[in-house]
Each structure stands twice: as C-alpha cells, then as structure tokens.
Amino acid sequence: MDFGLNENQEMIAQMVRDFGAKEITPHRDQWDEEQHFPVDVMKKLGGLGLMGVLVPQEYGGAGFGYEEYVTAIMELAKVDPSIGLSMAAHNSLCTGHIMQFANDEQKKRWLPKLATAEWIGAWGLTEPNTGSDAGNMKTTAVQDGDYWVINGAKNWITHGISGDVAVVIVRTGKTGDSHGMTAFVVERGSEGFKGGRKENKLGMRLSETAEMIFEDCRVHKDNILGEVGQGFIQAMKVLDGGRISIAALSLGIAEGAYEAALAYSKERHQFNQPISSFQGIAFKLADMATELEGAKLLTFQAADLKNKGKSVNKESAMAKYYASEVAVRNSVEAVQIFGGYGYTKDYPVEKYYRDSKLCTIGEGTSEIQKLVISRAILKG
C-alpha cells in the first residue's frame, strides 16, 4: 500500500495552507472568543472546490476521491479544527447523504448549490433525548396528501441556524423500528422550519452547533430521499463515510499539536539545553509521532477502501476511534510540553486541546465505535 501524497493531494495541501494563513489565522482567536461562525470563509472554501470535494464534476463538484478529501480536512484542521469540522459536516453528511441516496433530479436540484457553497448544508439525526439511541427519536412526519408534516426538534446540529438546506431523518413509522424512519430534504425558508438555541461550547467554537425546530413544517413528497422507511438505514451508511472525515479531522489536530510541541521543545531551553534533550520530553514526542502514524495508516486504509466501493463499516470505525483518541492524547501532551505557556491562548496547543475532545464524541462516541468494531469482528 502506497499512502504517499499524490499530485492532487500536494496541490490541495498547499492551497489549504495558503488559504488558512490569509483568511483564517489572523481572525481565529477573535472568532473563537466570540463563537463566530464565518459563513464568508465557508463560501470562499466553496470557491476553491473544498465544499464539494467528492461531488462529481457534472454536479459542480471537484470530483476528487477520499484521499484528497482526507488531506483537505487534515490541513484545514491544522489551521483551525472547527472550520475543518464544518467543512467535513457539510461534505460528508448533508451533501454526502444526497449524493448517495438522491435520484438524478434531486441531485441536479441541490448538489450544485452545495458543492459551490452557495448553500451551506446541515444534517439532522440527533435529538435531545436520543443521541446514540436514534431509533427512539420523537420528531415525526405524517403524510397529508402530497405533503408530509414534520413536528419535533433536532439538536447538536452543525449549521442548525445558518444552514440553507438540511437532510433530516424523522420517524414515519413505529418507535424503535429501524425501518420506521425517513430522510427528508428541507430548505431554509420552509414554513415551520427554524433554527433554535445555539450551543455554548468548550471547543470547536467557530463551528455553529444549534437546534433545528419543526412546527407543522410541510415538506413535499419529492423531497424524500430514497424510499419511505429507509432513513435510518441510509443514515448508518452515511455515518460510515462520515467517520473517515472525523478521523481526518482528528489527524489534523494530532499532527498540529505534535508539530507545535516538537518545534517548541527545540526552542525552549532549561538548564542550558533544549528541553527536547531530556528523555521525559523526547519520549513524549516519540509516542506522539508513533501514534500519529498509526492513526494515519488506519484513516488512509479506510479512505482507500471507500474509494474502491468496498464496505468500510469496521475500518472507518477503527480509524475514527483511534485517530480521535490520538488527537486528545497528542493535544494533552502538547500542552504538557509547553508547560505554563500551553495553558494560555498565546500558543495554539490550548485550542487543539479544547477542540480535540469533540472528535471522541461527534458522529458516534468512542464507545459506539467499539460497539461497531466488536460487532464486525464477532460476526466475521
């Protein structure tokens, strides 16, 4: 297996680094403090093709594969993880769901606007009382002629307020029935559809997380993705691919924290020598580098399988689980290596530390990943 960067990946990596230095880094601290979601930055990423990385060119996308996608998220996460999170959620969840399960007419209707970031996408599965227990969701859709009437609320939704279009999975059958849920596309401006409370978060503060509220929201049957009753099954397949994006996000954080700690350990002197010369620091760096490489291999393996159209259920869960835990460990060790300075906002490791924890929670907690992995290996 050759996971060296190809020409497209090298081009994307440099493009993201240049864009980040100009458009994100100068404003990052202020935006983080204010929890400002920079929609204009997302629009500019669309102009670079990064909001439709996997979308075929015929629908206005870049038409790249998962290796390029992973690289783009990694590099963006090194600049700012929360921008990387928003880019990943837009691509993998909302756009990804439509790409996988929409008919051609629906694809022509929504993908060009999503791929260029003319529209920002959201994806709604989670509810206040049903995180991992999606089968017991309370948001319902009841058919009324050619329309379905949606009532309920979703929370922890990336772009829940600012999103222009959302793919929403709601209950159309019995509670607990995995074939009793359906995926609808709901456009912003639809009567009865609005954003709710915005979450005040520990990290990922540039990425908007909020409620979506539905009050007698009428959605035409043409907005159903696939068949009625297939929403949950679709969502699980979407999450298989989405977990690769969170693994990539984790890699960016882990690598950013490692690179910052490595550079600082060579610059910081104690007892008349760089702290990297002390075994206590050198061994931390060795662990960080080794775990980072392991996480990369798992992630690019999953990306390679996804590109080949093979099942990635186990592999994406492994990549997401391991890479997210490595992101947290590397961020913790980076703060430790920086010492007191790592606990301040003068250096980036403090932000990597806060942002990293979300990776072990979003799109399935580490515990859920273990459940997915264990089921796969026991069944096999």
Q: Which residues are catalytic?
A: 363
The long-range contacts involving 23-32, CB below 8 angstroms and separated by at least 24 positions, are 24/79, 24/80, 24/83, 25/79, 25/80, 28/79, 28/80, 28/206, 28/351, 29/345, 31/205, 31/206, 32/82, 32/205, 32/206, 32/351
Q: Mapped to the 3 state alphabet, what secondary structure does 81-139 carry?
A: HHHHHHHHHHHHHHHHHHHHHCCHHHHHHHHHHHHCCCCCEEEECCECCECCCHHHCCC
CA gap 76, 59 in Å, rounded: 24
Exposure pattern of 330-354 as b/e (b: 16+ CB <10 Å)? bbbbbbbbbeeebeeeebbbbbbbb
3-state SS assignment for residue 135 = helix
Residue for token pair 């979300």: 358
312 neighbors 241 (Cβ within 8 angstroms): yes
Taking residue 83's Cβ as centre, other Cβ atoms within 10 Å add up to: 25
225 neighbors 184 (Cβ within 8 angstroms): yes
Give Cα 207 distance to the centre of its chain: 10
The encoded tokens of residue 214 equal: 């539905």
The encoded tokens of residue 32 equal: 């983080």
CA gap 117, 352 in Å, rounded: 26
Q: Are strands 209-220 and 147-158 parallel, antiparallel or unpaired?
A: antiparallel
CA gap 49, 210 in Å, rounded: 26
CA gap 76, 17 in Å, rounded: 7
348 neighbors 260 (Cβ within 8 angstroms): yes
